[in-house]
Amino acid sequence: MAKKSEQIIKNLSTDSVIFGFDNSELKVLLIKLAVEPQKGEWALPGSNILTDENLDVAAKRVLKELTGLDNVYMEQLYTFGDVLRFPLFRVVTVAYFALVKIEDYQPEPGPKASDAKWFPIKKLPKLPFDHIEIINYALKRLKQRVRIRPIGFELLPMKFTLSQLQNLYETIMDVEMDKRNFRKKIIGMNLLIPLEKQKGVPHRAAKLYRFDKRKYDSLKEKGFNFEI
């Protein structure tokens, strides 16, 4: 008999849009469904919520179970509940979005997924249910968030160059930026800690930086606004 802790809420699920960035493209992590219906189709990682499990916890658990990912930036996105979104019965899904340092992570599908793979946001496969709508909503949210909160760093390796950072912003926001102005602005915020230089690149080595989260947190309390 199932323990109480493994009872699921029948009409509720969680789905996550996981973004990664590989220095040139924004990507989304999808899993190949291993169970009917829709077996074999690529979809957002998602599953049911347990009756004694908080929503955020459920989202994290599902992510871990299906993709192996742990300890990533996650934020509740929106709740999608169209009556017809799931064909068999009514399922309302609380969607989350997650940001992953793509280099740190090699997809490892869990037991309920037969595969897990990064897809460029511009070349997504056909997706079941309303998953494409959820991804589009997440992308819209990401574009907004990245401008006003320093969450872009969640998509970069711990140590990154200013060019990588600029490239990230340009890709997500789909604009071109002036290199000097971008650097002035970022450096002016005093939230980056300069580190050593790159090595082994076939051009002048760039300085590496890391994001000073502690400083940001304390500035934020004093009303500082991150904005690019």
Phi and psi of 203, rounded to 5°? -165, 180
- What is the SS3 assignment for 125? coil
Residue 202: contacted member of DNA, its own copies, none (CB under 5 to 8 Å, by partner type): DNA
Phi and psi of 16, rounded to 5°? -125, 135
- The answer to whether residues 67 and 45 touch, using CB atoms and an 8 Å cutoff, is yes
Place of tokens 């996650």: 74
Give the Cα separation of 2 and 7 in Å (integer).
7
Beta carbon nearer to its own copies, 54 or 181: 54
Interface with DNA, residue 193, by CB under 7 A: no
Task: Write out the residues near its own copies by the rule CB under 8 A.
Answer: 9-12, 49, 51-55, 76, 78-79, 81-83, 90, 92, 94
Residue 158: contacted member of its own copies, DNA, none (CB under 5 to 8 Å, by partner type): none
Beta carbon nearer to its own copies, 145 or 183: 145
Beta carbon nearer to DNA, 3 or 199: 199
Q: Which of 176, 136, 168 is nearest to 152 (CA)?
A: 168
Interface with DNA, residue 203, by CB under 7 A: yes
Beta carbon nearer to DNA, 4 or 222: 222
Residue 78: contacted member of DNA, its own copies, none (CB under 5 to 8 Å, by partner type): its own copies
Which amino acid, one-letter code, is at 91?
Answer: V
Beta carbon nearer to its own copies, 76 or 163: 76
Q: Which of residues 150-189 bind DNA (CB under 7 A)?
A: 161-163, 178-181, 183-185
**What's the token pair of residue 221?**
């309390």
Q: Where does residue 212 rank: exposed (0-12), middle (13-18), buried (19+ CB within 10 A)?
A: middle
- Please give the residue ranges that form the binding site for DNA (CB under 7 A): 161-163, 178-181, 183-185, 197, 199-207
